[in-house]
Structure 1
Amino acid sequence: MMGVAVGFILPPLLVRASGTTDEIATDLQLMFNIYAAFFSVLFVFILLFFKAAPPTPPSAAADLGSTLDSNFLLSIKKLMTNRNFILLIISYGINVGVFLAISTLLNAVILTHYPGAHLDAGRIGLVFILSGMAGSVVCGVILDKTHRFKETTLSVYIASIVGMLIFTFTLDCGYIGVVYLSSILLGFFMTAYLAIGYEMASEVTYPEPEGTTSGILNAVVQPFGISITLVYEYVLGAADDRAANLTVVGVLCAGAAFCAAISSDLRRQNAQNKNNESLD
């Protein structure tokens, strides 16, 4: 998420909004060279220092799961016949798809109401992501304290819809500071859901490998993101940003319905509790 946040703020700083084609091309080349250098160093660090697994399992349930025989194709079959996981895939894909659509077209939406505010558009994207990182931590603490995964997941989903509505109807207020605030509220819940979705997937699919469930979620959000972005862009061009935003609000409502249909089958928590009881 920090990388996404940097991706919002860095391009407006490095690439001038106006200039000749050659000047913009030079700026883009500089930006790409910086990215290439950074990722090359990061790649070397991963090769040298990244470990295959932590020295100890993160939980008793994970320790139990690591002792089970894992067959990838069998695991995929079980996941694709897991009703809760399928519902989570759809609801997660919709939420993240809307997030990707807004992230992709945020610059165009902001500049429609605040011409010349290229740097502000990047900063709004920055606070959108940073507030979501804070939301992920807060929601993680709530999950640790309450273990109410479905209730927390659904509450965050509904709060994302409310945040999207507030963002929609404050966008044209004429005060860009208000847009900053509404973006912080929207990002706090919508971006936080990205992390919560992984935890919910681990709960309803245990003891299937978390790497597999996370990989499937990451793969599935791509077609959702492309589709919702194309729809958002079409409505934005055919009508206006309010119509486009209300369209994705409707999509989020459908996602919330799928989320509400997930039953509270917390398999990982049950395994954790059983293991603790056996130790006692």
Structure 2
Amino acid sequence: EEELAERPSARQAVRNLGTHFHELFRNRDFMFLLVSFSIGLAVFNGMLTVIDQWLEPFGYSNNQAGIAGGTLIVAGLAGAAVAGILMDTYHNYRAILKGCFICALAALTFLCLMLFRHNYPLVLVGFGFMGFFTLPILPGIIENAVECTYPMPEESSSGLLFCCGNVLGIGVTLLMAKLVKSADNRPFTAANLFLVASIALCVLIVLPYKGQYRRLEAERGHTRVSSSEKALGEERDPRIAGHHQEDNSMERPLLVDPSAV
């Protein structure tokens, strides 16, 4: 009963969530991430939803479209793994995110240029490059959002990102379904131009992003404070330092003079 009493009510939870969203919309750095991610996620979902219709005017079957989509996903998982290792090692989240967006734009442009009949191997290469640089944007965006909104709960920023991206994705999917019906003026079809222009817009939005690493700085500051407090405690109480010296002396091996044996 005490645990139930301590839990916030549903009304209080909704009120807290509304407060978090209000603060997020006032965060300029987060808005760069929100707009770019929403457009990118919407385009990605729309492209995968109508991938068979998109490739059909260029002479590719549904099976070939399915293989292309699978290539994109598998390459994307590999790219996300590489990006995760780089972020954990160097903690340079901004540069990795911007690099992924720029490379994704280049890969999508290459893919659109390769879309013509009897060019399936290069089409698969284009989908592979597209996936390798597109899927890592997801962990990159989440890491940057958590950093620039700290100490805001991670669930609030991540939830708002996916909510806006999925809502926008509905409209993009409906628009893509109409644009892919024609392959006129290929490779500069209406669908291809829309995809490239959308990702180019994402790049222009994310390039000015200069969000701070608030969580990372807080963790480093906590580590420095803990070390300084330990040193200060030894200065105030010499017995602490003496205790550490005794522990170190106990760990030393016992040396015996051979001449005394």
**Which category of TM-score, normalised to the shorter sequence, fits these structures?**
0.7 to 0.9
Paired position in structure 1 for 2:246: none
Paired position in structure 2 for 1:246: 193
1:100 and 1:212 mapped to 2: Cα distance?
22
2:208 to 261, 266, 270: 261
2:176 and 2:55 mapped to 1: Cα distance?
14
Matched, 1:93 2:38: yes
Q: CA deviation at 1:264?
A: 3.0
Structure 2 length-normalised TM: 0.75
Paired position in structure 2 for 1:142: 86
Amino acid in structure 2 at the alignment position of 1:122 = G
Amino acid in structure 1 at the alignment position of 2:213 = L
Structure 1 length-normalised TM: 0.70
Where does 1:123-202 land on structure 2 (aligned, <5 Å)?
A: 123-172=67-116, 174-202=118-146
RMSD of the alignment, in Å? Answer: 1.8
2:169 to 225, 245, 264: 225
1:114–1:176 CA contact under 8 A, matched in 2: no
Amino acid in structure 1 at the alignment position of 2:197 = G
CA separation of 1:175 and 1:237: change in aligned 2, threshold 3 A = closer
2:55 and 2:173 mapped to 1: Cα distance?
16
1:136–1:192 CA contact under 8 A, matched in 2: yes
Q: CA deviation at 1:181?
A: 1.1
Paired position in structure 2 for 1:272: 219
1:81 and 1:264 mapped to 2: Cα distance?
14
Matched position secondary structure for 2:181 = helix
- How many residue pairs get aligned? The number is 210
Matched position secondary structure for 1:158 = helix
Q: CA deviation at 1:75?
A: 2.0
1:72 and 1:97 mapped to 2: Cα distance?
24
Unaligned runs of at least 5 residues, structure 2: 1-14, 228-261
2:58–2:183 CA contact under 8 A, matched in 1: no
1:165–1:246 CA contact under 8 A, matched in 2: no
Amino acid in structure 2 at the alignment position of 1:251 = S
Paired position in structure 1 for 2:29: 84
The CA deviation string for residues 184-225 of structure 1, in whole angstroms up to 9 with x for no partner, is 000111122122211111111111111111111110002221
1:232–1:245 CA contact under 8 A, matched in 2: no
The CA deviation string for residues 105-126 of structure 1, in whole angstroms up to 9 with x for no partner, is 11112222234x2222111111
The CA deviation string for residues 123-182 of structure 1, in whole angstroms up to 9 with x for no partner, is 111110111111111111111122111111111001110010011011215121221111
1:149–1:264 CA contact under 8 A, matched in 2: no
Unaligned runs of at least 5 residues, structure 1: 1-69
Matched position secondary structure for 2:196 = helix
Paired position in structure 1 for 2:236: none
Q: CA deviation at 1:238?
A: 5.3
Percent identity over the alignment is 25
Where does 1:95-114 land on structure 2 (aligned, <5 Å)?
A: 95-114=40-59
Matched position secondary structure for 1:84 = helix
Matched, 1:215 2:162: no
